Chains A and B, each alone.
Chain A
């Protein structure tokens, strides 16, 4: 139901999810952070945020991601968050949680009441985590704050980025997450900085690291999978459906293959602290600026968004040519592709790396099948990928 709704909003170009980067200020200093701290402009005022939230409600937006930088570092975070709650948005707060304790934590719960708080975990030990955040004590403080947030009744999730520094702790990070009772998602790809600077990539994980991540995730997924009988029982029960953990624009969330690869510019936009509107947090082609034009107008008239919508259809076509399995494993992102080489349709190194890592993990299983030729038939060469 949820996935169908999202898919329909892609097809109908109906804005459903908006990500607000409230500020690029931050109390951590992550070595690999993608934020462009050199970007200049006039920050949106509180009044402009209020108008924007009203407009988003009118447009039918339900999912609202509040992020940054560190969103809690915005001096008017609580006012903006409270207005968003009053506007009936389902709010996802992405925060490093360093300041989310004591009175602020209670105020966020009472005034903003987010659907979920997503925090960042960068290692299983203080040594690794703090090396990445460049703030001594940030690991211990995160663990203490998570316990407090939990007792306040927040729904929690942890996100992590796999790097050369933490890739030896993947299993330990999952074990820590299990002990905390908080789901953990590890992103295998370090992105360049939003201004194109590739220095964050110096911390990219190795192929072995990515492979280990996929292997551990596959094992955990297998272990957690309900029995077919259990699943049938759930389906038969009908009624309400669990909401997707992330208000994602990712194609993997929809159950039938849609025309568009993702919802970038079709059901979602990202807005930076200076009012620049992008099709997605990762596809940084400015489609307009809220200081000059209201969002509804940008949404309806921006040639950039129109082109992006067409490109997401073209991505599907190209990926279909590679075969469904390769496309799925690649987790292709046209925004990342554009950033990597200027062409949103070209397969980029990190996508190729993912396919290779998946294959390495899956190969033993395929080999053990008593069927000749499955491995090659289902896995066309990545070298045939467009732009490869």
Chain B
């Protein structure tokens, strides 16, 4: 997995300044081979995300997006998908909204570009 290496690529102004969500406090997840199991403890619900979805969730959890901006993630994904960065960005935004609607992510109130915040409990390593 190479998501941490791909820091180059263009990020749109909108993407880099967007307020980034964070993992809900009651959410637990594990990345397994090819998929990610997400448990919303309060609702007592489980969701399964595919490989890319799990990777995006982990990025959010690790504070990578908040630190380096959505554009960083888009650039990383663009290396793997043959679609425009605009399309990718729209897809990722849509996915983040879906996760918020599902209660997996919650808005981060004071998101400032440049903050690198590791939320308590954020996984430190790569594949888990």
What mask results when residues 99 to 123 of chain B are scored 1 for a CB within 8 Å of chain A, else 0?
0001000000000000000001101
- Is A57 within 8 A of B45, CB to CB? no
Partner of A1, one of B28, B32, B46, B102: B46
Q: Point out the residues of chain A lying under 8 angstroms from B123, CB to CB.
A: 57, 88
Please report the C-alpha to C-alpha distance between residue A382 and residue B51 in the assembled complex, in whole angstroms: 47
Please report the C-alpha to C-alpha distance between residue A252 and residue B23 in the assembled complex, in whole angstroms: 33
Partner of A243, one of B39, B120, B125: B39
- Is A240 within 8 A of B30, CB to CB? no
**In the complex, what's the smallest C-beta–C-beta distance from A92 to chain B, in angstroms?**
11
Known contacts: A62-B28, A88-B29, A90-B41. The answer to whether A241 contacts B46 by CB under 8 A is yes
Partner of A60, one of B30, B39, B102, B121: B30
**In the complex, what's the smallest C-beta–C-beta distance from A89 to chain B, in angstroms?**
7
**B97 an interface residue at 8 Å Cβ cutoff?**
no
**B13 an interface residue at 8 Å Cβ cutoff?**
no
How many B residues touch the partner, as a band? 20 to 34
Q: Point out the residues of chain B lying under 8 angstroms from A90, CB to CB.
A: 28, 39, 41
Q: Point out the residues of chain A lying under 8 angstroms from B120, CB to CB.
A: 86
**A352 an interface residue at 8 Å Cβ cutoff?**
no
**In the complex, what's the smallest C-beta–C-beta distance from A64 to chain B, in angstroms?**
10
**In the complex, what's the smallest C-beta–C-beta distance from A114 to chain B, in angstroms?**
8
What mask results when residues 207 to 243 of chain A are scored 1 for a CB within 8 Å of chain B, else 0?
0000000000000000000000000000000011111
- Is B28 within 8 A of A89, CB to CB? yes
Please report the C-alpha to C-alpha distance between residue A87 and residue B46 in the assembled complex, in whole angstroms: 18
Q: Tell me the nearest residue of chain B to A64, going by C-beta.
A: B28
What mask results when residues 1 to 40 of chain A are scored 1 for a CB within 8 Å of chain B, else 0?
1100100000010100000000000000000000000000
**In the complex, what's the smallest C-beta–C-beta distance from B35 to chain A, in angstroms?**
8
Q: Point out the residues of chain B lying under 8 angstroms from A85, CB to CB.
A: 121
Known contacts: A5-B48, A87-B121. The answer to whether A60 contacts B32 by CB under 8 A is yes
**B68 an interface residue at 8 Å Cβ cutoff?**
no
Q: Point out the residues of chain A lying under 8 angstroms from B47, CB to CB.
A: 1, 239-241
Q: Point out the residues of chain B lying under 8 angstroms from A58, CB to CB.
A: 125, 128
**In the complex, what's the smallest C-beta–C-beta distance from A106 to chain B, in angstroms?**
16
**A70 an interface residue at 8 Å Cβ cutoff?**
no
- Which residues of B81-100 are within 8 A (CB) of A? none
**A113 an interface residue at 8 Å Cβ cutoff?**
yes
**In the complex, what's the smallest C-beta–C-beta distance from B10 to chain A, in angstroms?**
33
- Which residues of A50-103 are within 8 A (CB) of B? 57-58, 60-62, 85-90
- Is A115 within 8 A of B32, CB to CB? no
What does DSSP make chain A's interface, helix, strand, loop or mixed? Answer: loop
Please report the C-alpha to C-alpha distance between residue A241 and residue B121 in the assembled complex, in whole angstroms: 24
Known contacts: A60-B30, A86-B120. The answer to whether A240 contacts B41 by CB under 8 A is no
Please report the C-alpha to C-alpha distance between residue A113 and residue B39 in the assembled complex, in whole angstroms: 13
Q: Point out the residues of chain A lying under 8 angstroms from B33, CB to CB.
A: 12, 14, 60
**A155 an interface residue at 8 Å Cβ cutoff?**
yes
Known contacts: A1-B46, A88-B123, A240-B46. The answer to whether A62 contacts B41 by CB under 8 A is no
Please report the C-alpha to C-alpha distance between residue A71 and residue B27 in the assembled complex, in whole angstroms: 24
Please report the C-alpha to C-alpha distance between residue A87 and residue B29 in the assembled complex, in whole angstroms: 10
Q: Point out the residues of chain A lying under 8 angstroms from B102, CB to CB.
A: 239-240
Known contacts: A60-B30, A60-B128, A88-B29. The answer to whether A243 contacts B44 by CB under 8 A is yes
Q: Point out the residues of chain A lying under 8 angstroms from B1, CB to CB.
A: none
**In the complex, what's the smallest C-beta–C-beta distance from A83 to chain B, in angstroms?**
10
**B26 an interface residue at 8 Å Cβ cutoff?**
yes
Q: Point out the residues of chain A lying under 8 angstroms from B43, CB to CB.
A: 240
Please report the C-alpha to C-alpha distance between residue A89 and residue B121 in the assembled complex, in whole angstroms: 10
**B52 an interface residue at 8 Å Cβ cutoff?**
no
- Is A242 within 8 A of B28, CB to CB? no
- Which residues of A328-349 are within 8 A (CB) of B? none
- Is B44 within 8 A of A88, CB to CB? no
Residue with the highest number of chain A CB atoms closer than 10 Å, among B29, B46, B120: B46
Q: Tell me the nearest residue of chain A to B123, going by C-beta.
A: A88
**In the complex, what's the smallest C-beta–C-beta distance from B29 to chain A, in angstroms?**
6
Q: Point out the residues of chain A lying under 8 angstroms from B40, CB to CB.
A: 240
Q: Residues of B with Cβ closer than 8 Å to A?
A: 26, 28-33, 37, 39-41, 43-48, 102, 120-121, 123, 125, 128
Interface CB pairs A-B, < 8 A, 6: A60-B32, A85-B121, A88-B29, A88-B121, A90-B41, A239-B47
Known pairs A1-B48, A88-B29. 7 more at Cβ < 8 A? Answer: A5-B46, A57-B123, A57-B125, A115-B41, A115-B44, A239-B102, A241-B47
